[in-house]
A and B are shown apart, each in its own frame.
Chain A
């Protein structure tokens, strides 16, 4: 899961707005006119949204507030906290900006209400990546919790076999992760996950230390080496987990790994400081390493990448006016402005056509088409990010999502995996 250094959430905003509103109301009352009416509408009860720093960013929610006419009280948190709050406290949010890999837990738990696609204005513009699993015809759906396996539900929120009027969550931002490497240090181009365990890079390799995701990266490496063939890398059996972790422990004892990273910043530091030459990496992190002047390439392994997909969900506890507001906020996400914003962070949005409308042609060509930057391009906050002539590794949006090997997943044997992963780290 990609956690970009999050901007602070707008939890405090509502207080300010209330104070401002009270002030306005007082003035209006004193003046004895009814011109304050629009202010009262504007200050409609805010709704609460929770999510990672990827989607809960002050700029996004305050822009949404401006467009929809009510405040969105965003709370950014870590993946674990988001998972826990979404599952256990669905009275504490109206909208959870979570991820499809959580849905093996969330759907049976019934914390969300099914979303009626008839109330989603741009539903027909949502790409096929989540509807059929194939962005373009003939693409590979990929193992694990692909959104298409998680999205379709009936009006009671139970899974259905195929397309339905109701969905478990609205598809949002997404990306595919793979390996990042320093070509000057590796001396060759990396085109397979097998390289993760190559003895050429012994002591200079790092792995993502989020058990669910790190295990899948390692599994891709083992499979590419021909050591094992997993039934489903996104849902391993206990014996498969044992084979995987035993192999990892052996490699760790040989001193193969330099470090294990947990946050975006750590992965950037490992590469920039030269401690590591090859590691599992998130696409925006590669851009950040390049921005430091260190060569770093985002590999396109022939086995395919590991995908993940944001899922905007509505709490079952949201009713009446709040529910209407939640739908308005969901519709706003698809409208294009947000898609353009997250594009500049390196993420794709489920309504590319709308995104295109809000993104200057240069930027669209760079982020979505994989073409060289025609000029210097900005990050979402307006700071220069991409140098002129730079090319986004991993090719175009279509190329990237044509071959997803596996999607981020929470396995049935998750507890067992976490236990064995702990053993791997302790060994």
Chain B
């Protein structure tokens, strides 16, 4: 966990947070304009009355019942059965209940282990390597989404003053989500394909004499499509946490002679971290489980952890598919824990 600790929030952030809390206590009395600005505060009596009403009407147990039933039926039970299946045996007569670690071994095992001729240890098993390449593409996309998405969210929250324009532009960001996921992925072909727009332009301008093919069905095209499809997932949360920053603090900072860079480093950056973290978690979780884009945009030329699960599901080797699913889940949980250790969302919300 060494490098993780290094990534954790430095003293600057802590200072900024302390200062912010101090400022917040002062500015809390004001109402802010904007999408997420403070709500008009209710006087104490109504608040108390509301709480009472809730307590009398529905007890906590009742309130959590629907969600609990839902989660038990569609999350806990399937999850438990995946865990149970992962220990079963796959015999020629079909599945057989058992407690076998065979498929866990298979997941990690590499034949030969030590290559005598080359005098080196062999690579990790193909399944670990596949998980590794999935993580690689996920992290690359996360970084690119942050680079592309943060400025957009910043512009929306900080530069656009009128609420209705904020809302309109934010909805504009969501436009791609109005069409189905597959259409968004397939739509890259007319753009990046051999007979696509870019190739036509390059040919027309005489820059190339035959169509270039690195644009599509390539690592480049794949990463680009992932960023385009999923960047909105981080724009939203970042926008919301930026919009929550009281404008008064920024004004105060300017009045006291802080440069824009200082303001960003000391106030805006740290205060938008929860949004960044939530956005990154969204992207991380979605892309780790991704397999369709790899097929449509990368032409199936890479395997993701998701395609491995599908492949083994396809030959009815459910126990091994379950092992793969659990390993993917483990990697996702570790990833989320790491992100949450870098940023404490709870404290910031």
Contact = CB atoms under 8 A, between A and B. Distances in A.
Pairing of A with B = yes
Interface of A: 78-81, 83-84, 87-88, 105, 108-111, 203, 206, 209-212, 252, 257-262, 266, 269-270, 273-275, 410, 414-415, 418-423, 425-426
Contacts of A105: 92, 316
Given A108-B93, A209-B300, A426-B130, A88 B194 contact: no
Q: Which residue, of B300, B310, B312, has the highest number of chain A Cβ atoms within 10 A?
A: B300
Given A259-B299, A262-B295, A110 B315 contact: no
Given A83-B316, A426-B133, A274 B300 contact: no
A274 B193 contact: yes
Interface string B180-196: 00000010010001110
B213 A80 contact: no
B130 to A, nearest CB: 5
B95 A262 contact: no
Nearest to B133: A426
A87 B301 CA distance: 30
Interface in B260-307: 295-296, 299-303, 307
Contacts of A81: 313
B166 interface: no
Given A108-B93, A274-B193, A425 B301 contact: yes
Nearest to A423: B126
Given A108-B93, A273-B189, A274-B195, A260 B301 contact: yes
Nearest to B298: A259
A261 B300 CA distance: 7
Nearest to A419: B126
Contact of A79 (B295, B312, B314, B318): B314
A422 B193 contact: no
B12 interface: no
B254 interface: no
A29 B132 CA distance: 68
B93 A259 contact: no
Contact of A88 (B94, B127, B186, B193): B94
Given A210-B314, A252-B301, 11 more contacts: A80-B315, A83-B314, A109-B93, A109-B94, A259-B217, A262-B295, A410-B315, A418-B311, A425-B302, A425-B307, A426-B126
Nearest to A420: B126
A254 B217 CA distance: 15
B216 interface: yes
A423 to B, nearest CB: 4
A87 B316 contact: yes
Contact of A275 (B194, B295, B311): B194
A210 B314 CA distance: 9
Contacts of B296: 266
B318 A84 contact: yes
A210 B14 CA distance: 54
A273 B314 contact: no
A423 B186 CA distance: 26
Nearest to B95: A88
Contacts of A423: 126, 129
A262 B312 contact: no
A275 B301 contact: no
B315 A415 contact: yes
B12 to A, nearest CB: 41
Nearest to B217: A259
A110 to B, nearest CB: 7
B126 A422 contact: yes
B315 A258 contact: no
A422 B217 contact: no
Contacts of A410: 315
Contact of A80 (B126, B186, B299, B313): B313
7 A-B pairs closest in CB distance: A259-B299, A80-B314, A260-B300, A84-B316, A425-B303, A423-B126, A426-B303
Contacts of A273: 189, 193-195
B92 to A, nearest CB: 5
Contacts of A252: 301
A240 B130 CA distance: 23
Interface string B73-100: 0000000000000000000111100000
Contacts of A80: 310, 313-316
11 contacts: A79-B314, A80-B314, A83-B314, A83-B315, A109-B92, A261-B299, A269-B189, A414-B315, A423-B126, A425-B307, A426-B133
Contacts of B299: 206, 257-261, 270
Interface in B310-326: 310-318, 320
A206 B298 CA distance: 12
Contacts of A259: 217, 299-301
Nearest to A269: B189
Contact of B316 (A88, A108, A258): A88
Contacts of A420: 126
Contacts of A415: 315, 317, 320
Given A259-B300, A260-B301, A426-B302, A87 B127 contact: no
Q: Which of B94, B130, B303 has the most CB of A within 10 A?
A: B94
B35 interface: no
Contacts of A88: 94-95, 316, 318
B122 to A, nearest CB: 12
Interface string B208-239: 00000100110000000000000000000000
Contacts of B36: none
B301 A418 contact: no
B308 interface: yes
B86 to A, nearest CB: 16
B126 A274 contact: no
Given A80-B313, A259-B217, A275 B300 contact: no
Contacts of A421: 311
Contacts of B129: 423, 426
Contacts of B217: 258-259, 275
Nearest to A104: B92
Contacts of A270: 299
**Most chain B C-beta atoms within 10 Å of own C-beta, residue among A110, A111, A269, A418:** A418
Contact of B312 (A78, A111, A258, A418): A418
Nearest to A80: B314
Nearest to A238: B111
B297 to A, nearest CB: 10
Contacts of A212: 315
Contacts of A426: 126, 129-130, 133, 302-303
Contacts of B92: 105, 108-109
A247 B326 CA distance: 32
Interface in B115-132: 126-127, 129-130
A211 B189 CA distance: 25
A203 B300 contact: no
Contacts of A203: 213
A87 B92 CA distance: 10
Contacts of A206: 299
